């Protein structure tokens, strides 16, 4: 059946700066896609990420290149062959899921249910004193993620752990460490009781991990995008971070989740700094993950109306009708 596709750039101001090893952002710039047809509207969101060479304009152009396919009734499977994985395909794929679920073309049983889950709450890079203060506010939450760079990470981690001794802890240097620093940090990670170390070294320089025996499991983020990456990644990492903006949508993410589980790997469900429209589809993966890091909307000064809610470190699904069949 004929459909109409629209795409636009939306910007959401952050409530405070989000600082990681590769820079600081003060707004979440996303691309919002709507697909309408037969009286039904489906929505999806993609977050172009400069680390992967993506821009707002490039993402909009990629979506435009798929206009005829989508408007003439192309399927999600068709989309996998038409666009490379990334923010553009994610926005389109999730909009198609939403449209199909609302239309009744696809049953809600095709997806794992979205449910309330514990999510990591992020402490971004700052002085040890400031990071400790932020961690103290999260001391009774179930899970914290700590962003680091190569500047004295041990002091920062010890400050965070002293302020928040109870939560599980994910350490995320965002590719900023090298092999010597990774090796030197092993006893510190054990000392502070880290549960997971996420992408400590650059994805392009991680071959040594094949012969490395970490004291804390290492999770691939920038090193894994799609199913095609998994064979190599499985030799170097113990877990993977699945983000819809990397896999190019929920369709490919479900396949990656199944393949990782079949290999016995741990799984995190992650996100970019985004609105609830990115998080609602990801929640269908989150219930199957070992770790959930979907606090993107917590950084927005104002989220989309009816979106997900967070309290005490727990993430609850969006209001009925926000995304999907519910």
Phi, psi of 18 (to 5 degrees): -110, 105
- C-alpha to C-alpha distance for 171 and 270, rounded to whole angstroms: 14
Both tokens assigned to 309: 């809610």
**DSSP 8-class letter at 220:** E
Instruction: Confirm if 308 and 316 have CB atoms less than 8 A apart.
Output: yes
Pairing of strands 291-292, 40-46: unpaired
Radius of gyration for the alpha carbons in the chain, expressed in angstroms and rounded: 19
Q: Which positions are annotated as active-site residues?
A: 147, 243
- Residue 51 CB coordination number (10 Å): 12
CA distance 120 to 127: 20
Cβ pair 323, 38 in contact under 8 A: no
The DSSP result for 167-188, as a single string, is: SEEEEE-TT---HHHHHHHHHH
């Amino acid at each position: 059946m004929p459909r109409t596709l629209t795409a636009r750039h939306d910007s959401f101001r952050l409530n405070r700066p989000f600082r990681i090893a590769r820079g600081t952002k003060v707004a979440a710039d996303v691309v919002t896609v709507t697909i309408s047809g037969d009286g039904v509207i489906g929505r999806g969101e993609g977050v172009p990420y400069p680390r992967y060479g993506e821009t707002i304009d490039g993402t909009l152009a990629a979506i435009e290149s798929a206009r005829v396919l989508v408007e003439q009734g192309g399927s999600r499977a068709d989309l996998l062959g038409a666009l490379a994985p990334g923010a553009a395909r994610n926005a389109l794929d999730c909009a198609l899921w939403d449209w199909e679920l609302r239309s009744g073309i696809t049953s809600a049983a095709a997806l794992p249910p979205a449910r309330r889950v514990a999510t990591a709450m992020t402490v971004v890079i700052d002085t040890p004193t400031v990071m400790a203060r932020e961690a103290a506010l999260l001391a009774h939450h179930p899970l914290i993620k700590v962003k680091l760079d190569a500047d004295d990470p041990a002091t920062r981690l010890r400050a965070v752990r002293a302020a928040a001794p109870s939560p599980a802890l994910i350490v995320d240097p965002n590719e900023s460490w090298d092999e010597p620093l990774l090796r030197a940090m092993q006893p510190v990670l054990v000392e502070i009781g880290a549960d997971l170390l996420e992408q400590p070294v650059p994805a392009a320089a991680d071959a040594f991990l094949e012969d490395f025996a970490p004291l804390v499991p290492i999770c691939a983020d920038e090193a894994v995008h799609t199913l095609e990456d998994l064979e190599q990644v499985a030799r170097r990492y113990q877990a993977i971070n699945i983000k819809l903006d990397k896999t190019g949508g929920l369709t490919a993410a479900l396949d990656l989740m199944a393949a990782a589980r079949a290999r016995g790997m741990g799984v995190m469900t992650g996100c970019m700094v985004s609105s609830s429209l990115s998080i609602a589809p990801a929640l269908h993966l989150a219930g199957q993950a070992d770790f959930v890091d979907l606090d993107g909307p917590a950084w927005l000064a104002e989220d989309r109306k009816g979106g997900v809610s967070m309290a005490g470190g727990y993430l609850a699904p969006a209001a009925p009708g926000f995304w999907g069949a519910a």
